Structure 1
Amino acid sequence: MAEAHQAVAFQFTVTPEGIDLQLSHQALSEIYLSGVRSWKKRIIRLKNSVITGVYPASPSSWLFVVIAILATMYTRSDPSMGLIAKIQEHLPVSQSMSTQCQAVLSAVVFSTMLWLMLIFTMRLCLKQLLSYHRWMFEQHGKMSNTTKVWVALVRIFSGRKPLLYSYQGSLPNLPVPAIKDTVKRYLESVRSLMDDTQFERMTKLATEFESSLGNRLQWYLKLKALWAANYVSDWWEEYVYLRGRSPIMVNSNYYGMDFLYVTPTPIQAARAGNSIHSFFLYRRKLNKEELKPSRIPGTVIPLCWLLRSAVPCCSYQFERMFDTCRIPGTLTDTVQHWQDSDYIVVYHKGRYFRLRVYQAGRLLSPREIEFQIQRILDDPTAPSKGEAKLGALTAGDRIPWAKARAKYFSSGVNKRSLDCIERAAFFVTLDDDEQGMMGDDPAASLDRYAKSLLHGKCYDRWFDKSFSVVYYKNGKNGINGEHSWADAPVVAHLWEYTLATDSFQLGYTAEGHCKGEVDSSLPQPQKLKWEIPAECEEQISQSLAVAQALADNVDFHVFSFREFGKGKIKKCRVSPDAFIQMALQLAYYRDQKRFCLTYEASMTRLFREGRTETVRSCSSESTAFVRSADVCRRLFRAASEKHQLLYRMAMTGAGIDRHLFCLYVVSKYLGVESPFLKEVLSEPWRLSTSQTPPQQLELFDIVNHPEYISCGGGFGPVADDGYGVSYCILGENMINFHISCKHSCPDTFGAQIKKALHDLIQLLSPNQKEPNKTEDGQQEVKKDK
């Protein structure tokens, strides 16, 4: 009972002599230190708010402007052109202030106004500079003089050491494309997927929409774009994610894997100790804004280092990374974010534990966290009635979960325990299984690893948390991310930092334990208490049945392609991303004997609060190439160049799908129907793809330690008869693929991708010849220059 006694600051009893107070000095000390830590964070946030608020200037520049104005006054010149005198006339000062003091105060007021005007001008200039995107469309390796001047100006206006959120006020707003441009690009994107009759019908619908309803909807959308920071993001979060009533497990959440070939320690508690400590080190950097502003990853589009380092990306998604949970509702879910929880919630063998990671105002050392995790592993307590599979509520349909939450978790001990989970910094699962590349069949073990990270047992994850971390019995780990609050690259940034800090900065002892000492006075992790009625248990069982059926129908194939990588692809003067996308088109056509609408996620974070846009990878150029893939290298280059153009257009706000989506939302608000929009938004994405580019290569030494690479991550299939393909380009000689589908789909797609990759590199090799028609119609063989 010692821990329970320390958990309260004081106890009191009423006696005949009065009230007898029994103070706990340790608890009061803990409260004091916690308050000091909280105030330190407030001061840091205030300081960072000031620095970010005056960016691209610095707070010290105010003093420089004041001194400069005062100096000119003493030289009997008036740079204010009479404004200082006007300010002095209207100063509400006391009679005791001398004329000279009034003049100095007026000069300070004028200097401050001048300084604020300079800040506004500099920010406006930087915003205009960041609105320039022609650099992205220039030929790789050739930079125009205009772009060179632009890079120099961006660097000048960006200052020396911007904080994580410094650029937020200077990023341009996402532009609203013209209706005629979006409709034209849409029709181009579906031409190869329709026969003449279907295309003629769709063209008629598109023309009618463009000439009538489209202009009305566009007017409302432009009005929103003037008012809101981003005309897409809030509606995208609400209608695509939060209003979805089907399970978010498999359908929305995604995962990231551990190192592929290395397990830093086989001790489960030790791996958790280092990793959890690393997460909180990252959160400390995040709170202090010490992370560098995001940049465009090098494997997204071919760009020189100078351009990538000059162009910032929006960082607003980082704000809700920790202490965040998705809260279910009957109509729509909400995302709740709290400030700096000092604990995590750990799940093990059906029990939930609250584990504080701060003691006396300091972050626990990795060894202390290992000690606490081991206490949970050794705890023999049985789960409470209904507790073991409680997490299945977050894995099933959203409406039953929302109703159960309101009915059974709105008061008493259940509410306190649920609040504890939802307000935790993040969620941790101590899994009894062993995962990773292992055994006699490493390929099958990777597939099982992926399925485990995506859905587990359907009740041993808390899928509503912003992210959950899984630690397996053999020391492997992984991460599961909830999608509504942010996109995968944001969680991947955190994951890269954690993996690198865990292995290269913190390290382990020779026995595999965390380094450091243990404070023996640490209180036991607190087991959460529940009172689950029989009716709630029935709902848990129903949600589990729904989730289990969904999980059982998901099939995964994960493989590491090591025959060649981006090094060899770039020697063929082709974008690695375009190369892989063409390989996917070729593989799908061979597998299904048809083409399909293809989704590739690209980012729009060059704009404020930007998230993603769709690149429609299946184009007329790609289908023309696939039909003649065995003979024509020229068609491949045309297809890859078109893909790069589409990717660049999507990144610069000229995409198709987000614009059409927002027009559809406006039509629903107005209560009008559009046959064109209804048909466009109902088209299935049978091939959904995404690249997970490494963002912090400086943290890893891939050349000397190639084994320390993550396998990347993946997601579930979007369509019942389709595939979800995530790929990660690592180093010069490796591409990792994560392929998901329902069991109803053929399991040959992975083999087709491998074959397509080999066929394309053979086609592009310098000694490969292709038939080419001469002017008289005869074919001649010549090399592709």
Structure 2
Amino acid sequence: MVKPCSLVKPCHLVKPVSAGRLAGRYLSHQRGLPGLPVPPLQQTCQRYITALEPIVEADELKRTRSLLEEFQRAGGLGERLQRGLEKRAQGSENWLSDWWVQVAYLEYRMPVVVHSSPGLVLPRMDFTDQQGQIKFAAKLIAGVLDFKTMIDNETLPVEFLGGKPLCMNQYYEVLSSCRIPGLKRDSVVNHAKSPAPPKHITVVHNFQFFVLDVYHSDGSPLTADQLRVQLEKICRASAPAGARPLGILTTQHRDSWGKTYQLLMQDETNRASVSAIQRSIFTLCLDPARPQTSGDSYRSAAAVQMLHGGGSGGNSGNRWFDKTLQFIVGEDGTCGANYEHAPAEGPPIVALIDHVVEYTRKPEPERRHSASLPTPQKLHFNITAEVQRDIEEAERSMDTLAQDLDMRVMVFGHFGKNVPKSHKMSPDAFVQMALQLAYYRMYQHCCATYESASLRMFRRGRTDTIRSASSASAAFVKAFDGPRTQVCVQKADLLKKAVAAHRSYTNMAISGQAIDRHLLGLKLQALEEKLSVPEVFTDAAYAKALHYRLSTSQVPSKTDCVMCFGPVVPNGYGVCYNPMDDHINFAVSSFNSCQDTDSARMARAVEAALLDMKTLLDQTPQAKL
């Protein structure tokens, strides 16, 4: 599965919002972006072999070379599929994006919880009671609405990377949208584009859902003070006794949830309530206080809350995980978000959250009381015995998953992106080499490593894969703790080459010339043309190349936060990081059911690798470029 994309530094958008609509600005910007290219077939085949070298055995590599020679021979199957892809590219906005959303997300049948949807952990907020929780939540809502004004008016600042404008489409997909479960394939609906866009959010408290209108009849948003009054009404109306955690159904395997969804929607009251959740601008989850912890233990517990809610005895039922964007505010100051991954990658979510956090720190505006605010509407559900059984099954499944996830958040406080920058090295590449070194030290071999790269230079671009395990990284990690005869200067030179190789692959990926999406496209084109899947895709080496024991993502942010997600294979790790100037926030996940993985051990290994790499560079000043 895909994880949040890297490399796009979000804009920080707290500024006076334009009141006027810049009609057509978004569309004209989008039309000016190039389409995603289809890389040359021979180039991808050669780069695929290069990517396999550090992770497969020599005999496997020899077999794959032979398969690729046959695949790309003149007049062969590869050329036919390449022509089909090029024709598809000519006739579409983006030859990949529709396929990608279907294959990577909507046809993926594992639960979105842990397996797909990322969480985001904010710094602990300065309140410890319900009054503080409500006050902060009210300002958070107002901040999202302020950001939404820029989306609605098309005044959102365009982001750039390397002087080139980026596709802004994902910003227009995250509000008023929701995933809809199906029996074999899900769908996503975006109500922001409907003739009557939603004017409400949903608030869930004590497992009960409420519709909260956030705009006045004249179209102006409620003030933070008015929102506070409304949230107080919701908390008073949501006594905890007897509420059934309907939201936990959204944690289920997608086929199971699809069947329950059909049962649920046979009832008219349920249809209206579910529709209100799906149509809402976003969901706000108000959680009770959790047991007190501090430091990295607190951050790890907070990450669990953002990622899955802690199971049936926690807050997993106080969510609607199909909702594209859920903000989570705990009574103890634990705050963050969870988002359903199909419509967007991490950076647009982080840019929105950066804006909201900064907005919450602004002074309170003048209060505008109103006695005529309508009472928020509680959503009702008629739960049959069959649906109740499904809720209980969902609780058991969620508890199993919650107990299996091993999550560790670590603040690496020794240095931040300042150190690699001082050596003229990419901070992202430096961290990726630390991950390679940490993994090699633990397992004595290299593994397929996924780092997401943004394709937003292209119209409707999503992601491709940066393959961080390279021949250069393998040479570096094998030499680092190798024979003492290898002097520091040689090791530093290997580090420099590994960092340069990673940077080169990154540039290749963001310019649409990486291998993974092209290979996937060729495979899907074969299916589209009802041809047998080429043998190169049933090869053991291809399976090994896609078995990402390290699934990683850099998601930089102005806010001192960290995104988190689960591993993508049973014996792997999910690693997300946010490099700040003088420290780095890491979230490391694995599964307890795998005897070979240990998130805390991996976090310690990453810390040691970063420190050892800095020491190496400090000992070899001539290694500076």
**Which segments of 5 or more consecutive residues in structure 1 lack a partner in the other structure?**
1-42, 53-163, 297-307, 508-513, 698-708, 770-781
Q: Choose the corresponding residue for 1:685, options 537, 541, 548.
A: 548
In the TM superposition, residue 476 of structure 1 has moved relative to its aligned partner by 3.2
Which residue is equivalent to 1:69?
Answer: none
Q: 2:60 and 2:425 mapped to 1: Cα distance?
A: 34
Q: Choose the corresponding residue for 1:213, options 77, 80, 86.
A: 77
Deviations 1:63-90 (A, max 9, x none): xxxxxxxxxxxxxxxxxxxxxxxxxxxx
Q: What does residue range 538-549 of structure 1 map to in structure 2 within 5 Å?
A: 538-549=389-400
In the TM superposition, residue 321 of structure 1 has moved relative to its aligned partner by 1.6
Match of 2:414, SS state, is coil
Deviations 1:118-149 (A, max 9, x none): xxxxxxxxxxxxxxxxxxxxxxxxxxxxxxxx
* Structure 1 consecutive aligned stretches of length 4 or more whose deviation exceeds 3 Å: 380-384, 782-785
In the TM superposition, residue 264 of structure 1 has moved relative to its aligned partner by 6.8
Match of 1:204, SS state, is helix
Match of 1:443, SS state, is helix
In the TM superposition, residue 495 of structure 1 has moved relative to its aligned partner by 0.6
Contact kept in structure 2, 1:257 and 1:710, CA below 8 Å: no
Which one-letter code corresponds to 1:349 in the other structure? N
Which residue is equivalent to 1:763?
Answer: 616
Query: Is 1:522 the counterpart of 2:373 in the alignment?
Result: yes
Match of 2:356, SS state, is helix
Q: 1:491 and 1:166 mapped to 2: Cα distance?
A: 23
Q: 1:501 and 1:783 mapped to 2: Cα distance?
A: 43
Query: Is 1:237 the counterpart of 2:95 in the alignment?
Result: no
In the TM superposition, residue 634 of structure 1 has moved relative to its aligned partner by 0.9
Q: What does residue range 429-508 of structure 1 map to in structure 2 within 5 Å?
A: 429-434=285-290, 439=293, 441-456=294-309, 457=311, 458-503=316-361, 505-507=362-364
Which residue is equivalent to 1:749?
Answer: 602
Query: Is 1:273 the counterpart of 2:138 in the alignment?
Result: yes
Contact kept in structure 2, 1:233 and 1:610, CA below 8 Å: yes
Q: 1:277 and 1:609 mapped to 2: Cα distance?
A: 29
Match of 1:739, SS state, is strand
Contact kept in structure 1, 2:178 and 2:278, CA below 8 Å: yes
Deviations 1:593-646 (A, max 9, x none): 211000011101111111111010000000001111154111111111111000
Contact kept in structure 2, 1:263 and 1:476, CA below 8 Å: no
Q: 1:493 and 1:783 mapped to 2: Cα distance?
A: 36
Deviations 1:170-195 (A, max 9, x none): 11111101111101001101112122
Query: Is 1:356 the counterpart of 2:218 in the alignment?
Result: no
Match of 1:252, SS state, is coil
Q: 2:257 and 2:128 mapped to 1: Cα distance?
A: 38
Which one-letter code corresponds to 1:171 in the other structure? L
Q: 2:240 and 2:439 mapped to 1: Cα distance?
A: 49
Q: Choose the corresponding residue for 2:520, options 661, 669, 682.
A: 661
Which one-letter code corresponds to 1:656 in the other structure? I
Which residue is equivalent to 2:247?
Answer: 391
Which residue is equivalent to 1:739?
Answer: 588
Deviations 1:324-372 (A, max 9, x none): 0101111211110113311111111121111111233231110111111
Q: What does residue range 156-305 of structure 1 map to in structure 2 within 5 Å?
A: 164-211=26-73, 212-259=76-123, 262-263=125-126, 267-296=132-161
Match of 1:347, SS state, is strand
Q: 1:421 and 1:721 mapped to 2: Cα distance?
A: 36
Query: Is 1:726 the counterpart of 2:588 in the alignment?
Result: no
Which one-letter code corresponds to 1:768 in the other structure? T
Query: Is 1:612 the counterpart of 2:475 in the alignment?
Result: no
Contact kept in structure 2, 1:615 and 1:647, CA below 8 Å: yes
Query: Is 1:673 the counterpart of 2:538 in the alignment?
Result: no
Deviations 1:500-550 (A, max 9, x none): 1111x245xxxxxx9624323322211111111101111122223222212
Query: Is 1:642 the counterpart of 2:501 in the alignment?
Result: yes
Q: 2:221 and 2:588 mapped to 1: Cα distance?
A: 39
Contact kept in structure 1, 2:423 and 2:624, CA below 8 Å: no
**Which segments of 5 or more consecutive residues in structure 2 lack a partner in the other structure?**
1-18, 482-487
Which residue is equivalent to 2:442?
Answer: 591
Q: 2:427 and 2:469 mapped to 1: Cα distance?
A: 17
Which one-letter code corresponds to 1:374 in the other structure? E
Structure 1 residues 424 and 563, CA gap change in structure 2 (3 angstroms): same
Query: Is 1:563 the counterpart of 2:419 in the alignment?
Result: no
Task: Between 674-683 and 642-651, report the one with greater CA deviation.
Answer: 674-683
Which residue is equivalent to 1:21?
Answer: none
Which residue is equivalent to 2:424?
Answer: 573
Query: Is 1:421 the counterpart of 2:277 in the alignment?
Result: yes
Which residue is equivalent to 1:773?
Answer: none
Q: Choose the corresponding residue for 1:317, options 170, 177, 190.
A: 170
Which one-letter code corresponds to 1:611 in the other structure? R
Q: Percent identity?
A: 32
Which one-letter code corresponds to 1:323 in the other structure? S
In the TM superposition, residue 167 of structure 1 has moved relative to its aligned partner by 2.0
Query: Is 1:713 the counterpart of 2:579 in the alignment?
Result: no
Look at both structures and tell me which one has the larger radius of gyration over its CA atoms: 1
Contact kept in structure 2, 1:271 and 1:475, CA below 8 Å: no
Q: 2:526 and 2:126 mapped to 1: Cα distance?
A: 53
Which one-letter code corresponds to 1:678 in the other structure? T
TM-score, normalized by length of structure 1? 0.71
Match of 1:748, SS state, is helix
Match of 1:690, SS state, is strand
Q: Which has the higher contact order (CA 8 A, sep 6+)?
A: 2
Match of 2:155, SS state, is coil
Q: 1:541 and 1:44 mapped to 2: Cα distance?
A: 50
Match of 1:359, SS state, is coil
Deviations 1:208-237 (A, max 9, x none): 222232111111111100001111111000
Q: 2:457 and 2:623 mapped to 1: Cα distance?
A: 40
Contact kept in structure 2, 1:371 and 1:518, CA below 8 Å: no
In the TM superposition, residue 783 of structure 1 has moved relative to its aligned partner by 6.9
Contact kept in structure 1, 2:408 and 2:603, CA below 8 Å: yes
Structure 1 residues 165 and 691, CA gap change in structure 2 (3 angstroms): farther
Contact kept in structure 2, 1:265 and 1:271, CA below 8 Å: no
Q: For this pair of structures, how many residues does the alignment match? A: 577
Deviations 1:439-459 (A, max 9, x none): 4x4221111110110000332
In the TM superposition, residue 165 of structure 1 has moved relative to its aligned partner by 5.0
Contact kept in structure 1, 2:424 and 2:624, CA below 8 Å: no
Q: 1:234 and 1:334 mapped to 2: Cα distance?
A: 12
Q: What does residue range 126-137 of structure 1 map to in structure 2 within 5 Å?
A: none
Which residue is equivalent to 2:386?
Answer: 535
Q: What is the alpha-carbon root mean square deviation over aligned residues?
A: 2.0
Deviations 1:6-62 (A, max 9, x none): xxxxxxxxxxxxxxxxxxxxxxxxxxxxxxxxxxxxx976x612xx3xxxxxxxxxx
Match of 2:95, SS state, is coil
Match of 1:635, SS state, is helix
Query: Is 1:407 the counterpart of 2:259 in the alignment?
Result: no
Contact kept in structure 1, 2:118 and 2:307, CA below 8 Å: yes
Q: 1:226 and 1:551 mapped to 2: Cα distance?
A: 45
In the TM superposition, residue 265 of structure 1 has moved relative to its aligned partner by 7.8
